[in-house]
Amino acid sequence: GENVEQHPSTLSVQEGDSAVIKCTYSDSASNYFPWYKQELGKRPQLIIDIRSNVGEKKDQRIAVTLNKTAKHFSLHITETQPEDSAVYFCAAPLGGNYGGSQGNLIFGKGTKLSVKP
Amino acid sequence: GAVVSQHPSRVICKSGTSVKIECRSLDFQATTMFWYRQFPKQSLMLMATSNEGSKATYEQGVEKDKFLINHASLTLSTLTVTSAHPEDSSFYICSATDLDRSNTEAFFGQGTRLTVV
């Protein structure tokens, strides 16, 4: 099955700086990699995702890069703001191939991001 | 986006009693739903996959007789924690995927905070 490792566990940055969170996965068949943001006591919210047929995806201040050969993907947040402070989780499909009924995700351990004003 | 509703959001129960948690997909049908457990400051751990009209699939280490899952319709899955004990206190959260959408984003319920006293 899939194994997802996430680093770092905590990350503190100054407002305006960039933040990078990295994840590795074990199943070379995995084809979908979402990133979730979770605020305390709330449900995880998808912030960006990438499929294995692309190497990079960007959405305003957030970007995700994927290296299939090395089996790792990273979340990049630029121009960080205090409201970016939360726990971020990466995930990969449990069964490798993601789609519909196979939507069970294995999550990394999370990164607590603190953005200091 | 698609809406997944979970009820109750908080529950306190006495040790030895059972608690039922509902997960509903409000605007789409979900043949499969997923149940996660999250302990404080930890990641989401997949407990089981709930399959409409058939038995749930449990992850290793999760007791199927303790965590009863019923997926009787395409919009409702229930998780019953039987004979709850203090160590079952946790944040339980479900997710579902809308098969009709082109992007198979997993949508999460708002979670249930269970406290067993």
What's the Cα-to-Cα distance from B95 to each of A28, A52, A86, rounded to whole Å? 24, 22, 20
28-57 in chain A: CB under 8 A from chain B: 32, 34, 41-46, 49
- Position A101 confidence tier, pLDDT thresholds 50, 70, 90: very low
CA angle A59, B107, B12 (to 5 degrees): 130
Residue A96 predicted with pLDDT over 80: no
Contact: A100, B32; criterion CB under 8 Å: yes
pLDDT tens digit string along B76-90? Answer: 999 999 999 999 999
Q: Which residue of B has its CA nearest to A40?
A: B41
Mean pLDDT of B27-39: 89
Cβ within 8 Å of residue B110, ≥6 positions away: A42, A43, B5, B6, B9, B93
> How far A36 CA sits from the closest chain B CA (Å)?
10
Interface test with A, best of B33, B97, B113 (most A CBs within 10 A): B97
